[in-house]
Amino acid sequence: MAKRGETREKILGAAAQLAAEHGISATAVDDIAAEAGVAKGSVYYNFGSKERLYAELLGETLQRAGQRLRESLDGARPGDAVRAVAEAFLRGLQEHPSSSKVVAAELFRLDRPWRESLAEYRSLFFSIFAEALEADGRPASPANAAAVFGSTIMVGFERMLFADRLDLEEAIAAIEGAD
Amino acid sequence: MAKRGETREKILGAAAQLAAEHGISATAVDDIAAEAGVAKGSVYYNFGSKERLYAELLGETLQRAGQRLRESLDGARPGDAVRAVAEAFLRGLQEHPSSSKVVAAELFRLDRPWRESLAEYRSLFFSIFAEALEADGRPASPANAAAVFGSTIMVGFERMLFADRLDLEEAIAAIEGAD
DNA sequence: GTCTATAGGGGGATAGAC
DNA sequence: GTCTATCCCCCTATAGAC
């Protein structure tokens, strides 16, 4: 064992899971270490502080999501772009539910260390959705992008939390045709 | 001074404002007392614990919002119901930004003391939006209700945080015609 | 690179005067 | 009903052995 980076992965996974349930502040580094099956010292050796640990978790999650959305947009036919981006987003939530929840809880916080990084990614997501609207020949104002992005997040979270209720097709149809 | 309930109001206001900025866990009772201009003992005399204080703040906020949405729905003409409910929601955010932010940060937490109360109100909001869709003769599935509700929240928060960007009419138009 | 043990500070809660 | 003073636990972070 002790494959390169393996400890870091275990810690990041535990940190995501616990913060998804209890929030970042309410998650203790002791709990993260216990959940990851490592000693607390290892957490500090690998990440320096709790703050940097979560900054890294959020950064990784956001970057992965941004890449995924960008690729789905670039690969989509005009007329199908919003659908493609929304589907990519929903699949991302499904594959990384814990870190997604952590990001969601941070989305509207204004005074955190990772505030700027988060704001950048929010802008990125908005502009990807705006581009998708444009590619589909739909009005692409900031307000419209926010509306579609909001639908996508809310529908995605409903699916995640009450998974039995919404299948993927139904969810995407609701996002696309929110009116 | 010392009008009945005045201290409670000051404490609730301070608790809302601080938690909107830092989150509930990161807000200390000492800070709440200082911000409210009362002693910490008064917080405990009036609310018993930090947990009960925030349970009450959330409960009040949700009840007020529910009432507001319900009234706007009941008073709306068919065909104008979604617009009326969305507008009521946006105005509520504008009038109570702090407590709204606190609620938003809690919306997807699963293990909190006030979890059940929150889930009830979320269902209530969903069903109000579903009714509004129905009144307007639009498809009113749970997914569609979630999508409209999500648009409304996201657009509302964008307005609240970057107020210069979106006027009310533009915001409502985006929510109504999200596609 | 991971562990155990401990330091140090902050925060929730209570006691008791006024 | 509001205040001040204090308790004590828990949590972040560090030191130092292995």
To 5 degrees, how large is the angle CA A142–CA A145–CA A151? Answer: 140
Q: H/E/C letters for each residue in B70-128?
A: HHHHHCCCCCCHHHHHHHHHHHHHHHCHHHHHHHHHHCCCCCCCCHHHHHHHHHHHHHH
Number of other residues whose CB lies within 10 A of the CB of residue B115 = 12
Range with the poorest average pLDDT among A14-18, A20-24, B48-52: A20-24
Per-residue pLDDT band for B178 (boundaries 50, 70, 90) equals low
Distance of residue B93 Cα from the nearest chain A Cα, in angstroms: 14
CB contact under 8 A, B161 and A108: yes
Q: Is the pLDDT of residue A122 over 80?
A: yes
Would you state the pLDDT for residue B33? 98
Q: Report the alpha-carbon distance of residue A178 to residue B179 in Å, rounded.
A: 6
Sign of the alpha-carbon torsion through A14, A19, A25, A27: negative
Would you state the pLDDT for residue B1? 46
- Which nt sits closest to A50, CA to C1'? D12
Q: Is the pLDDT of residue A27 over 70?
A: yes
Q: Is the pLDDT of residue B54 over 70?
A: yes
Average pLDDT, chain A: 93
Q: List the nucleotides on chain C closer than 7 A to a protein CB.
A: 1-5, 10-16
- Tell me what the mean pLDDT of segment A163-179 comes to: 83
Distance, CA of B127 to C1' of D11, in Å: 42
Q: Quick one: tokens of B78?
A: 């068919």
> Any long-range contacts for B66-75 (C-beta under 8 Å, 24+ apart)?
B66/B121, B66/B124, B66/B125, B66/B128, B68/B92, B69/B125, B69/B128, B70/B128, B73/B128, B73/B131, B73/B132, B73/B135
CB contact under 8 A, B108 and A109: no
Q: For residues A100 and A93, is the Cβ–Cβ distance under 8 A? A: yes
CB contact under 8 A, A150 and B146: no
Would you state the pLDDT for residue B162? 75
Range with the poorest average pLDDT among B30-39, B47-56, B69-78, B114-123: B114-123
Q: Report the alpha-carbon distance of residue B32 to residue B18 in Å, rounded.
A: 7
Would you state the pLDDT for residue A110? 77
Place of tokens 């000492």: B30
Q: Is the pLDDT of residue B96 over 80?
A: yes
Closest CA to B173 of A179, A72, A48: A179
Would you state the pLDDT for residue A99? 96
The string of pLDDT tens digits covering residues A104-118 is 888 878 788 999 899
Would you state the pLDDT for residue B110? 76
The string of pLDDT tens digits covering residues B1-49 is 455 689 999 999 999 999 998 999 999 999 999 999 999 999 999 999 9
Q: List the nucleotides on chain D closer than 7 A to a protein CB.
A: 1-6, 10-16
The string of pLDDT tens digits covering residues A68-97 is 999 999 999 999 999 999 999 999 999 999
Q: Report the alpha-carbon distance of residue B101 to residue A106 in Å, rounded.
A: 11
